[in-house]
Amino acid sequence: MKATFQDQGTVRSRRALVAGSVGNFIEWYEFGVYGYFATIIAARFFTPEGGSEVEALVKTYASFALAFFFRPVGAALFGRLGDRIGRRPVLILVIGLMTGATTLIGVLPTYETVGALAPWLLTFLRVLQGLSAGGEFGGAVAVMTEFAPPGRRGLYGSWQSFTVALGLLGGAGAAALLATVLTEDQLGDWGWRLPFLLTLPLGLGALWLRLRLDETPAFRHEREVAPESPPVREVVRAIALGAGRIMGWAAAGYTFLVVLPAYLQSTLDASFQQALIATVLANLGFAVTIVPAGLLSDRVGRRAVMLTGALLVVFLAVPLLNLLQDPGGSNAVKGAAVFGAGAVVGLMAGPGPAMLSEMFPTTVRYTGLGLAYALSNAVFSGCAGLIITETIERTGNVDIPAYYAAATCAVSVLALATVPVKGVTGKAS
């Protein structure tokens, strides 16, 4: 009988792992696709007659950033619901919203067809995506870590970040495939729509998995004992500290994994195919280190692993970018540079979800960790493309991406120094 209960627990844990992570895959697949096709979207939605390409790209990234700024709203709204009525129903709701908004982007009319209405329609759908994405992270991480066996939260939580890498790789792979099989005109006219339309079957599959998901044991227990929630001031302080701890992960991750293609094309005159290959390599490096980093954090603590990643970005960001800028550098060296850049971000992303989860008790976990993540990403990920593109345009300094990643990771080093040595607070039960 005991073995039967253990087997049932293992099945529920694995089901929660899959159902929790699949939404993250879809979310980051779409955000990756939007970033990879930024130059094409800029031309189709933000370039009226007489507008410059740089101006259009800045507006595209502004729309990108706007979606991120609605993430905290979604995190607060859906997080509060998730802490009140349960993780399962809210995760079902947000995956439906994300799937619908992303699919509709694939059928939007362009500026040439409907004029100034086109960018407004695109921005509205980006807002819906931001709201749903804000509700996705907190619930997914809560489900994974609350179902995780004892001593395995780092490993289970790392799958959230791992499916982020898979989503970005999926988006890059789709973009690279289309860029290979379609002509440039075909890609610009209608080919860019296909990756967005692919979200519909992916989202329906994710919805089916979440309908089969059980509510977490921790939430069911809290409903039975009805403990008091911690003071608002303590929650706000934890949210701010959590956002600081993952600031470098957010900024460096988006700089190296999403903004890189447009930077290589607009600043270093790389081709679309070259930029995508570099992005695939960076995301492969990211994916390779995430799960091992999460597993390692279960043994040596979250702080040691995440501090290592943040410090490596601080010291290596500029040298790695300089390798990409060297016109005489070999492709092998440049490939290793982008792979390494992704790998060091993975050291922060692997333990990050469990670290955030352990900062909040069950009664406010969905809201707290979701807001910490959403706020950090809104400011330091969503604005990455806008800040980098605009600053390079104004200053002419092509090292701006490295400075941005290094500076934010330096702040995270200070915040991560406050993580308990073993990185476990005991609150993630």
Domain at 10-214+231-416, CATH homologous superfamily? MFS general substrate transporter like domains (1.20.1250.20)
**Which is nearest to 262 in space by CA: 125, 174, 390?**
390
Rounded CA separation 294/182 (Å): 39
In tens, the pLDDT along 396-426 reads 898 999 999 999 999 999 999 999 875 444 4
Confidence at 278, pLDDT banded by 50, 70, 90: confident
User: Quick one: CA torsion of 175, 180, 185, 191, rounded to 10 degrees?
Assistant: -40
- Which segment, 167-171, 388-392, 405-409, 419-423, is predicted with the most confidence on average? 405-409
Predicted confidence at residue 388, as pLDDT, reads 84
**Which is nearest to 36 in space by CA: 236, 174, 238, 243?**
174
Predicted confidence at residue 428, as pLDDT, reads 40
Does residue 7 surpass a pLDDT of 60? no
The rounded percent of the chain whose pLDDT value lies above 90 is 46
Confidence at 180, pLDDT banded by 50, 70, 90: confident
Distances (CA, A) of 196 to 17, 34, 212, 304: 25, 9, 26, 39
Token representation of residue 427: 């609150």
In tens, the pLDDT along 236-248 reads 999 999 999 999 9
Predicted confidence at residue 93, as pLDDT, reads 95
Predicted confidence at residue 85, as pLDDT, reads 93
Rounded CA separation 265/262 (Å): 5
The rounded percent of the chain whose pLDDT value lies above 70 is 91
Confidence at 111, pLDDT banded by 50, 70, 90: confident
Confidence at 263, pLDDT banded by 50, 70, 90: confident
Rounded CA separation 82/100 (Å): 21
Predicted confidence at residue 8, as pLDDT, reads 53
Mean pLDDT across the stretch 216-230? 84
Mean pLDDT across the stretch 189-205? 91
Rounded CA separation 313/320 (Å): 9
The overall average pLDDT reported for the chain is 86
In tens, the pLDDT along 131-158 reads 998 899 999 999 999 999 888 999 999 9
In tens, the pLDDT along 185-194 reads 888 889 989 9
Predicted confidence at residue 289, as pLDDT, reads 96
Phi, psi of 384 (to 5 degrees): -60, -50
Confidence at 21, pLDDT banded by 50, 70, 90: confident
Rounded CA separation 38/27 (Å): 17
Mean pLDDT across the stretch 113-134? 87
Predicted confidence at residue 48, as pLDDT, reads 61
Token representation of residue 169: 């790789």
* Residue 171: half-sphere exposure toward Cβ, Cα within 13 Å: 29
Confidence at 57, pLDDT banded by 50, 70, 90: low
Whole-structure pTM value? 0.84
Q: 3-class SS at 214?
A: coil
Predicted confidence at residue 4, as pLDDT, reads 44
Predicted confidence at residue 32, as pLDDT, reads 74
Predicted confidence at residue 330, as pLDDT, reads 82
Query: Looking at 1-5, 176-180, 240-244, 331-335, which range is the least confident one?
Result: 1-5
Higher-pLDDT residue of 350, 60: 350
Does residue 202 surpass a pLDDT of 70? yes
Predicted confidence at residue 361, as pLDDT, reads 93
The DSSP symbol for 150 reads T
The DSSP symbol for 216 reads P
- Which segment, 32-36, 276-280, 362-366, is predicted with the most confidence on average? 362-366
**Mutual orientation of helices 38-45 and 260-268 as an angle, nearest 10°?**
80
Confidence at 343, pLDDT banded by 50, 70, 90: very high
Predicted confidence at residue 268, as pLDDT, reads 78
Residue 421: Cβ within 10 Å count? 10
Query: Looking at 65-69, 247-251, 386-390, which range is the least confident one?
Result: 65-69
Q: What residue has token string 């800045």?
A: 58
Predicted confidence at residue 423, as pLDDT, reads 45
Rounded CA separation 421/314 (Å): 22
Does residue 79 surpass a pLDDT of 80? yes
